[in-house]
Structure 1
Amino acid sequence: MDKDFWNERWEKEEIAFHMNEVNPMLIKYFPELFLEKRKRIFIPLCGKTLDIEWLLAKNYRIVGVELNELAIKSLFNQLKIEPMILEIDNFIIYKHKNIDIFVGDFFNLSETILGKIDLIYDRAALVALPENMRKKYSAHLLNITSGASQLLLTYEYDLNMMKGPPFCVDSMEIRNYYIDKYSLILLEENENLPSGLKRKSNGIEKVWLLKNDKKV
């Protein structure tokens, strides 16, 4: 993970990847997960996504990890709540009722630090990483969450048109990372790409449910 790259993007507010609305695919498909209230949802590389407020309003508990502290300060300003700030191991933790955000390197997270996770919502993590890091990311994610089921968003596009991020992650790659742990269910293919990606590529977004029948 190129820490300097992402920190510079946040500091310069070059955050075209940040959506100014709740992700419509989350709104559309979350009810189909039948997740009980108060369950813990993990959002890797969470940024300041508005999806967090939406999920909190539905009485879920949110756990996130984000490299850039500025993004998390902005998140809590959006939420209009004052967090408790702690330091544990390699992380600064922003806490409040029903929300815990770890500021630091995702790869330093452990299952012990993270706690029990009931669902993973990967809306911008896997696609944010270059190919040489995605295998490591997916393996670590499975390890620290005991393979909790996932709602996963990915993009596919012509690599001759752009290089990312967000990066192209095709179906075969998803299969390679996750078929041993999950039932892979493709919920939708659509052209609802982020504005920057849409201008550069005629790609598609894919919405996946990676279902661990023993977990959810």
Structure 2
Amino acid sequence: MSTSWRQRWQEGRIGFHLDQPHPALVHYWPTLEVESGTKVLVPLCGKSLDMRWLAEAGHPVLGIELAPEAIEQFLAQRSIGVSRYAQAGFEISRQGSVELWCGDFFHLHIQQAAEVGAFYDRASLIALPPATRERYAFHLAQLVPPGAKGLLVSITHQDDEAGPPYSVPGDEIAQLFTPNFRVTLLEKGSPDERGRTESVWSLKRRGPPL
């Protein structure tokens, strides 16, 4: 995946990028009642403006992204100072309350995500081929503590094999996440002009209270 993902960014084939925060984030995040100051993990974050929205809502953000091009484009959106450092296989850029870690999400260790208390996935799961999605769901569960809440946006479309974005139906969402999360469907949209239907889910990490 890494080579093809980098190539998409280098060639500007990023039709998944939105020029404003995702409406589902704006509408549903407040309903999760995530405490202000809770750090939010955003896997495969790209240059998403959703991270700006989360930061402005009072959340430190930890974004993980494989393509350095995406990170540099995100940082260039604002004329704010950037601090840079390295840690255990990641090149890290911090701008305001947003930390962007350039590297492989699957190499992120639980100690590195120790401060994370919530998560947001708009384009992570649907960017992964079927064989990798189970690994992703398990790794996410390892990184977030019991009680952590998150928002997941998924897509279904007619060609199950085509992607990214890949079509991930509701029964697969349930199969992937219910072993470790309480999963609730918040909204199922209408198909767009390309026949893609978005669904919005809330997830809460199972486990004994901290």
TM-score by length of 1: 0.90
Q: Show the counterpart of 1:96.
A: 95
* Greater percentage in helix: 1
Instruction: Show CA shifts across 1:67-86 (max 9, x none).
Output: 01111111111133221111
Alpha-carbon distance between aligned partners in 1 of 2:28 and 2:209, rounded to the nearest angstrom? 18
**1:21 to partner: Cα distance:** 1.3
The aligned counterpart of 2:199 is: 206
- 1:1-216 alignment to 2 at 5 Å? 2-146=1-145, 148-159=148-159, 163-191=162-190, 193=192, 198-199=193-194, 202-212=195-205
Larger displacement relative to structure 2 (87-96 or 146-155): 146-155
CA gap of 1:131–1:51, structure 2 versus 1, over 3 A, is same
1:22: how far off?
A: 0.9
Stretches of structure 1 lacking an aligned partner (at least 5 in a row): none
Number of matched pairs: 208
Partners of 1:34 and 1:12 in 2: how far apart? 39
Q: CA deviation at 1:18?
A: 0.6
User: Aligned pair in 2 of structure 1 residues 210, 165: CA closer, same or farther (>3 Å)?
Assistant: same
Per-residue deviation, residues 64-115 of structure 1 (Å, max 9, x unmatched): 1000111111111113322111111111001233221110011110011222
**Residue by residue, what CA displacement relative to the aligned partner does 1:19-75 show, whole Å, maximum 9, x if unpaired?**
111100101111101111111011000010011111111221101100011111111
How much does 1:192 deviate? 6.4
What amino acid is the match of 1:65?
I
Q: Unaligned regions of 5+ residues in structure 2, if any? A: none
Query: Could you say if the C-alpha distance between residues 182 and 77 of structure 1 is closer, same or farther in structure 2, counting changes exceeding 3 Å?
Result: same
Q: 2 CA distance for matches of 1:80 and 1:41?
A: 23
